[in-house]
Amino acid sequence: MGLAIGLVGLPNVGKSTTFNALTKAQNAEAANYPFCTIEPNKAVVPVPDERLIELSKIVNPQRIQYSTLDFVDIAGLVKGASKGEGLGNKFLSNIRETEVILQIVRCFEDENIVHTEGNIDPLRDIEIIETELILADIEALSNKITRLQKQAKSDKTAKAMVAYAEELMEFLADGNLARSFNDNTNELFIELNKDLRLLTSKEMIYGVNVDEDGLLEDNEFVKTVKQHAKEVDCEVIKLCAKIEEELVGLDDDEAQEFLDDLGVKESGLAQIIRKGFDKLGLMSYFTAGVKEVRSWTITKETTAPKAAAVIHNDFEKGFIRAEVISYDDFITYGGEAKAKEAGKMRLEGKEYIVQDGDVMHFRFNV
């Protein structure tokens, strides 16, 4: 799956509704009962980027191609999921294959929508989800320690790893997430996590699902989640899944008018997509021609030849140099020709680190 964002949460918190709106396609069944989502739904979602629109005003291309992001809608977890309750273990394995977790948390009351725990309490819901993730990590780590102990009899490296893993185990057993471990940049942690892909080591975004009134002013439920998120260094994005779904099918102008009428500047889902893109360590560079204005996805700190390979492997193999204009210069001077006349086009070599928004052409010879 790789570099995907997994939507998790208790049953009936609005995950599938959010997913439907997110993908702009009704391909995740949404129903008012637990476990309506059994197989993980996967979707590739365009990353909104106004810069492509501005580039297109200058270049007037035949088409625009956005960067994309993978989202996975994972069925609702319940207490005991780490022990197989509900459809637990299967769901936990699906989460393990993602890189960022978007935890949908219900922050509104509606007597017509069943809550599996009987009432609305977002901090309790978060605790249930994260406890199950912690328990699953403890089990995986315990199994790893058992294997390492056997190796440690003749391997000093394994012996050091055992001690480190046991320290991490104690940290998790105290109810902490692995991502909060004060030594999570240690080589031992990186090596351990490469094998285990610990669920609680992943970046977490809380998507607080509110009703229409909650969009304009934070209700008490949202305030408690924001306070918790601050304490654990997580992002919070507010959305109304029902309204986001209503936006599906509207063109951009109609959707913006709808949001303006609600007093909202931007869709919560647009914020989620952008924030998720950033949390995955991704960024974009652009190519701009009459056939296509396109955003290409790369990881941050990527060199020019590696960035070229995203277009075609031959571009990296035969890389000579890159012609680069910053996005701001491209817009300021009204296109490639005038930017070049103004001395704003640079020729960069193999060591160049591509910057977000660079407009690039690659010279290569194969």
For the cut 80, the answer to whether the pLDDT of residue 266 exceeds it is: yes
Longest dimension (CA), the chain: 69
CATH number for the domain formed by residue range(s) 4-279 = 3.40.50.300
Please report which helix (H) or strand (E) contains residue 268, including its range.
helix 268-279
Secondary structure (DSSP) of 27-61: -S---SSTT---SPEEEEEE---HHHHHHHHHH--
Please tell me the CATH superfamily of domain 301-364, with its number: Beta-grasp domain (3.10.20.30)
On whether the CB atoms of residues 106 and 8 are closer than 8 A, the answer is no
Listed in order, the ranges of the chain carrying CATH 3.10.20.30 are 301-364
For the cut 70, the answer to whether the pLDDT of residue 89 exceeds it is: no
Residue 153's pLDDT band (cuts 50, 70, 90) = confident
Give the span between the Cα atoms of 86 and 79, in whole angstroms.
8
Q: Convert the pLDDT of each residue in 193-203 to its tens digit.
A: 998 999 999 99
Q: What average pLDDT does this structure show over 189-196?
A: 90
Q: Convert the pLDDT of each residue in 23-80 to its tens digit.
A: 764 344 444 444 444 455 777 888 889 999 999 999 999 999 999 888 888 865 556 5
Residue 1's pLDDT band (cuts 50, 70, 90) = very low
On whether the CB atoms of residues 162 and 149 are closer than 8 A, the answer is yes
What average pLDDT does the chain have?
Answer: 87
Give the span between the Cα atoms of 125 and 128, in whole angstroms.
5
Q: Convert the pLDDT of each residue in 311-351 to its tens digit.
A: 999 999 999 999 999 999 999 999 999 999 999 999 999 99
Q: Which of 40, 34, 31 is nearest to 1 (CA)?
A: 40
Neighbour-count burial for 125-143, b at 16+ CB within 10 Å, e otherwise: bbebbbbbbbbbbbebbee
Q: Which of 120, 98, 117, 93 is nearest to 109 (CA)?
A: 120
Give the span between the Cα atoms of 107 and 129, in whole angstroms.
15
Residue 145's pLDDT band (cuts 50, 70, 90) = very high
Listed in order, the ranges of the chain carrying CATH 3.40.50.300 are 4-279
Give the pLDDT of residue 22: 79
Give the pLDDT of residue 35: 41
Secondary structure (DSSP) of 189-205: HHHHHHHH--GGGSEEE
- Burial class for 361, CB neighbours closer than 10 Å (0-12, 13-18, 19+): middle
Which one is predicted more confidently, 25 or 357? 357
Give the pLDDT of residue 24: 66
